[in-house]
Amino acid sequence: MKTPRLVLVAARAAFANDTLWLDAIARVAAALGHTSFRNALVQVRLEDPDLATAERAAAALACVRSAAPGVPVLLNAPQLDFAKLGFDGVHWRETAIPEAHVPSVFTTASIHSITALRRAEAAGASAVLYGPIWSPTWKPTAPVGLDALAEIAGATQRPVLAIGGITPARVAACRAAGAHGVAVASGLLTAPDTATALAEYATALQGLG
C-alpha cells in the first residue's frame, strides 16, 4: 500500500457519543467518495480500552466502505484484531509498538522522540505520525513545533506525517520541514462543511504524487 499524503484520524474520544462519531465518519467518507483526491487514508482510533469494541470498529469501517470503498482504513485499537475485522492495516500508538518486526502488514505508528522512531523502524512501520506540531483542538497537548518535525523527518527514510493542529494553511510549512504529508482529526471530522474542508486539504497537498 502506498503511504498517503493525508490521514484522517477518526478518534472516538473526540466525540460525546457513538452517534456523533459515526455521523462524522460518514460525512468524511461521503466527501472522499465524491472527490477526485485519492491520496487519503482513514484511521479508526479506539485507543481507550472502554471504547475499543469490535462493534464500534465494525460500524466505523462500514461507514467508510459504503461511501468510499477504495479508501484504505487502518485500526488503532490494540485490543482488537484488525485483520479479523477486515481493516487494511493497523496503527500503533507509541506504547503499543511491537518489540519484534511485523512483516507484510501496512502500519503507521505514533512517535514523540527519536527513540520511539527507531523502535517503529525496527518493528517495520510503513510510516510514522509525529506531533503535535501545533496544539490539537480536541485534547490538551503541548506542541513540539516545526523544528522538531524537521529533526524527525531528517532522521529517517520512513515517511513522516505531521499531526496536531494541521490546517490547510499550515500544510506547506509541514512539507517544508520534511513531512511526507499530514494527519488531521478535528480539521475534517468537526468541520462545518466537510467537503469544502477536504477540498482545501487536497489543494494544499496537490501535485505531491
What is the tens place of the pLDDT at every residue in 69-103?
999 999 999 999 999 999 999 999 999 999 988 88
102-129: average pLDDT: 95
Domain assignment present for 90: yes
Residue 157 lies in a domain: yes
- Residue 131 belongs to what domain range? 6-204
Q: Please report the sign of the dihedral spanned by the C-alpha atoms of residue 23, residue 62, residue 67, residue 188.
A: positive
Confidence of residue 107 (pLDDT cuts 50, 70, 90): very high
**Has residue 17 been placed in a domain?**
yes
Give the pLDDT score at 138. 67
What the block records as the C-alpha cell of 168 is 490547510
Residue at 14: amino acid letter: A
Q: Is the model's pLDDT at 139 over the cut of 90?
A: no
CATH of the domain at 122: 3.20.20.70
pTM flag (> 0.85): yes
Query: How high is the pLDDT of residue 208?
Result: 61
- Mean pLDDT across 146-174: 97
Number of domains in the chain: 1
**Mean per-residue pLDDT over the chain, rounded:** 94
- Whether 192 is covered by a domain: the verdict is yes
Identity at 34, one-letter amino acid code: H
At residue 155, the pLDDT reads: 98
